[in-house]
Amino acid sequence: MNDQNGKFKPYIPADKVMPEFTPMSVILGVILAVVFGAANAYLGLRVGMTVSASIPAAVISMGVVRVIMRKKSILENNMVQTIGSAGESLAAGAIFTLPVLFMWAAQGEGEAPSFFMITVIAICGGVLGVLFMIPLRTALIVEEHGVLPFPEGQACSEVLLAGEEGGDKSKIVFSGLGISAVYKFIADGLRLFPSEIDWSIKAYPGSGIGMDVLPSLVGVGYICGAKVSSYLLSGAVLGWFVIMPLLVLIGGDAVMYPATQAFNTLSTWDLWGNFIRYIGAGAVAAGGILSLIKSLPLITKAFSKAMKGFGHKGETAVRTERSISLPVSLIGAVIVTILLWLIPGVPIGLLAALIILVFGFFFATVSARMVGLVGSSNSPVSGMAIATLLVAAIILKATGNTGIAGMTTVICIGTVICIVAAMAGDTSQDLKTGYIVGATPIYQQYGELIGTVASGLAIAGVLALLNAAWSYGSQGLPAPQAMLMKMVVEGVMGGNLPWGLVFTGIFLAIAVEIVGVPVLPFALGLYLPIHLSIPIMAGGLIRLWVEKRKFPSETRRKEVIDNGVLYSSGMIAGEGIVGIILAVCTVFGVEMSLGGILGNWGGLAFFAGLIAAMLAFIFGGKKNKE
C-alpha cells in the first residue's frame, strides 16, 4: 500500500514496535530450517529440484504462534519463515555438488568428505550468500519496489497478512504432511506395494514406462503447474519412446561405449544409464549455459544496481531501514573467504578462495535480481554452477592441480558458489516479504545467518545418512544434478566422457531452444527417468483441472488453488521427513518389509487414493455451491 505522497507504506508502520526477533521465533525457525533442509535435500537428490520453504514455513509458524501459543505478531511469524527458509536454500546448494565426493569415494578415488569439511563449506557458503546480498537490499528491494515482483516474497507476505485476518491454512499444510508421511511409510517402510512401478513394452523393444507412485512428485507437479510438467514429460518421452528404441533398432547386436553388452540385450534401465543419461547431461548443461547467455543484459543491469547499492549506509534511525552496514558485510565476506583458505581439512587454496570471492559476488548479484523477476524456483543455479565448475576446472588443470585432489577442489568451489547463489536468492525473497509486512531488515539478516548456521550443522549428517542408506547415483537416490556436475568435472580433468552422446544432447537443447520450448525443464525430463516425470505430470494435470473449473467467485477460485499449493507443500515435507527416518532405520538395519505383496496394481490403487485425498482437501474448507 502507498501513502498520500505515493510512497510505499508497510503493513506494520516503521514507528510501531512489535515482538519480532524473539527466542520463540529463533527456536521455531531453527527447527524448521533443519526439517525443511533435510526434506528438500531428500527431494532434490531424488528428482533434481527443490521447492521453496518460505510459504509452508510461514503457515506452520502461524499455526504454532497463533493457535498453540495464542500470540499475535506478524513480525514473529515473518522471522520464523525467514530463518526456516534458509535451510531449504542451503540444502539446495549443497546437494548439487557435494554428493560427487561420496561417489568418488565409493569408486575408490579419494576419501568421503568429513562432517567437518561439509559443515565448514556449507556454513561459509551460506554466510557469504547473506553478506553479498546486504549491499543489494536498497537497490533491489526498496528502489525497485513495483518493478521487481519477487513472486515468492509477495506470495509469502500474502500468506502472513491472511494469517492476521484468521484462517486455517496451517491445517491444510499439516494434513498434507500427515497423509504423505503415512503413505510414504506404507510404501517404502512397510513396502506393502512397490513405490516404483515399471513395465517394459515387448512389442516396442527398448521402450518402457512406469512411475514412482509417491506424494512428493505429485506435489512438485501441482506447484510447477501443467506447462512446466509437460516440458519435463516431453523430454522423458523423447528419451524412452524415441531415442532408446531407435538405439536398439539401429544398434542391434553391436556394442558401443560406455555399455559393455549389445544393444538388443540391454534392459531399459541399462539403455538409460549408458546412453540417455549422457545425452540428457549435455542437454542440461547447454540449457543452463543458454539461460546464462540470455540473462547477460540482466546480469549487466544487476551489476550496475549493485554498484549503486554500495552508496547506501546500513544504519538509520528508521526501524524498517536498519540493516547490517556495508563495511561489516564486506569485511565479513573477506574474513569468511580467508577462513575457507586457512582452515585445515578444507581443500581450498588461495587460488580457489579468490575464484570463490569473485564468482561468489558475481552470481549472488545475478541470483538476487533474477529471483526478483522469475522467482527462486526458476533461477538457473545449476547453470551458474556448471559455468563455475568449467572455469575452475580449466584454471586448476592449467596450473597443474589435476587428479582426484584437483577435482575435489573444483567440486568444493562449485559447492560454495551454488550455496552462495541459492542463499542470496532466498535472502532477497525474505527481505521483500519483510519490506511489505514492515519487518526490521537487520533482524532478518541476523535470522538468515542463524538459519544458515543451523542447517549447515545438520546438512553433513543428512548427506552422510542418505548416502549410507541408498548411495548416491543409485536408482533409489539418483542425485541427478550431482551426477551432471560429476560428468562435467571428470570430462574437463580426465577427458573420459563419451563426448558424442554429450554433444547430441547439446544440439538437441539448441533445437528445442530454436523452437521456443524452455530448455531446462525439457532437458531435465530427458535426463531423469520417465518414472519421475509421469507422477509430476499427474500433479500438473490436477492443477490444470482445478484452474479450468468454474467457481462462484474469483475469491473462491484463488482459495482452492492456494489450498492445493499448501497441501502440496505439506506432502513434499511429509515424504521428505519420513524419507530421512527410513534412512536412519536402513542404516541401523531395521527391516519392516512386506515384500511389495500388492504389486504394481496395488501401487496404482494407492496412488489413486492419494490423489482423491488431495482433491478432497483442495476443495475442502468453506462450503460452496459449485
pLDDT digits (tens, 9 = 90+) for 493-544: 887 768 788 899 999 999 999 998 888 788 878 888 899 899 999 999 999 9
Rg, the chain, Cα only: 24
Local confidence band at 284 (pLDDT 50, 70, 90 cut-offs): confident
Local confidence band at 141 (pLDDT 50, 70, 90 cut-offs): confident
Helix (H, G, I), strand (E, B) or coil at 593: coil
For 196-213, what is the mean pLDDT? 90
514 belongs to a structural domain: no
Rounded (10°) angle between helices 519-527 and 277-294: 160
Q: What is the rounded CA–CA span in Å between residue 269 and residue 395? A: 36
For 36-48, what is the mean pLDDT? 80
Residues 6+ apart with CB under 8 A from 540: 221, 222, 224, 225, 226, 227, 228, 229, 230
Q: What is the rounded CA–CA span in Å between residue 304 and residue 573? A: 38
Closest CA to 534 of 174, 123, 158, 214: 214
Q: Is the pLDDT of residue 4 over 70?
A: no
Q: Is the pLDDT of residue 408 over 60?
A: yes
Task: Report which of residues 69 and 509 the model is more confident about.
Answer: 509
Closest CA to 577 of 222, 304, 188: 188
Local confidence band at 51 (pLDDT 50, 70, 90 cut-offs): low
Local confidence band at 415 (pLDDT 50, 70, 90 cut-offs): very high
Q: Is the pLDDT of residue 465 over 70?
A: yes
pLDDT at 607: 94
Local confidence band at 626 (pLDDT 50, 70, 90 cut-offs): very low
Question: Tell me: the pLDDT tens digits for 371-382?
Answer: 776 556 556 576
Q: What is the rounded CA–CA span in Å between residue 187 and residue 22? A: 40
Local confidence band at 109 (pLDDT 50, 70, 90 cut-offs): confident
Helix (H, G, I), strand (E, B) or coil at 198: strand
Percent of the chain with pLDDT over 90: 33
Task: Report which of residues 580 and 130 the model is more confident about.
Answer: 130
Local confidence band at 259 (pLDDT 50, 70, 90 cut-offs): confident
Q: Which of 141-145, 353-357, 597-601 has the lowest mean pLDDT?
A: 141-145
For 42-52, what is the mean pLDDT? 72
Phi, psi torsion values for 46, nearest 5 degrees? -90, -45
Return the number of other C-beta atoms located less than 10 Å from residue 392's C-beta.
Answer: 26
Q: Is the pLDDT of residue 446 over 60?
A: yes
Q: Does residue 397 contact residue 406 with C-beta atoms inside 8 Å? A: yes
Closest CA to 460 of 108, 125, 113, 127: 113
Domain span at residue 375 reads 23-173+289-485
195 belongs to a structural domain: no
pLDDT at 302: 53
CA distances to 59, 151, 450, 568, 621 from 161, rounded to whole Å, are 11, 15, 24, 21, 19
pLDDT at 116: 95
For 445-472, what is the mean pLDDT? 92
Q: What is the rounded CA–CA span in Å between residue 568 and residue 92? A: 18
pLDDT at 508: 94
448 belongs to a structural domain: yes
501 belongs to a structural domain: no
Q: Does residue 437 contact residue 424 with C-beta atoms inside 8 Å? A: no
Q: Is the pLDDT of residue 142 over 90?
A: no
Local confidence band at 624 (pLDDT 50, 70, 90 cut-offs): very low
Local confidence band at 153 (pLDDT 50, 70, 90 cut-offs): confident
Rounded (10°) angle between helices 169-184 and 215-224: 140
451 belongs to a structural domain: yes
Q: What is the rounded CA–CA span in Å between residue 533 and residue 241? A: 14
Q: Which of 29-43, 124-138, 267-281, 292-306 has the lowest mean pLDDT?
A: 292-306
- Residue 258, preceding peptide bond in cis (omega within 30° of 0): yes
Local confidence band at 165 (pLDDT 50, 70, 90 cut-offs): low
Name the amino acid, one letter, at 566. L
Q: Is the pLDDT of residue 625 over 50?
A: no
Task: Report which of residues 437 and 148 the model is more confident about.
Answer: 437
398 belongs to a structural domain: yes
Local confidence band at 609 (pLDDT 50, 70, 90 cut-offs): very high
Local confidence band at 57 (pLDDT 50, 70, 90 cut-offs): confident
HSE of 461 in the Cβ direction (CA atoms, 13 Å)?
A: 13
Q: Give the pTM.
A: 0.74
pLDDT at 67: 65
For the chain, report the end-to-end CA distance as a whole number of angstroms. 33
Q: Is the pLDDT of residue 55 over 50?
A: yes
Mean of pLDDT over the chain: 84
625 belongs to a structural domain: no
Q: Are strands 208-212 and 196-200 parallel, antiparallel or unpaired?
A: antiparallel
For 198-208, what is the mean pLDDT? 90
560 belongs to a structural domain: no
Of the segments 96-100, 162-166, 303-307, 387-391, which one has the largest average pLDDT value? 96-100
Percent of the chain with pLDDT over 70: 87
Q: Which residue has the cell 531449504?
A: 88
For 200-220, what is the mean pLDDT? 89
For 457-468, what is the mean pLDDT? 91
Number of domains in the chain: 1
**Cell triple for residue 228?**
512446466
Task: Count Cβ atoms within 10 A of the Cβ of residue 408 and give its class: 0-12 exposed, 13-18 middle, 19 or more buried.
Answer: buried
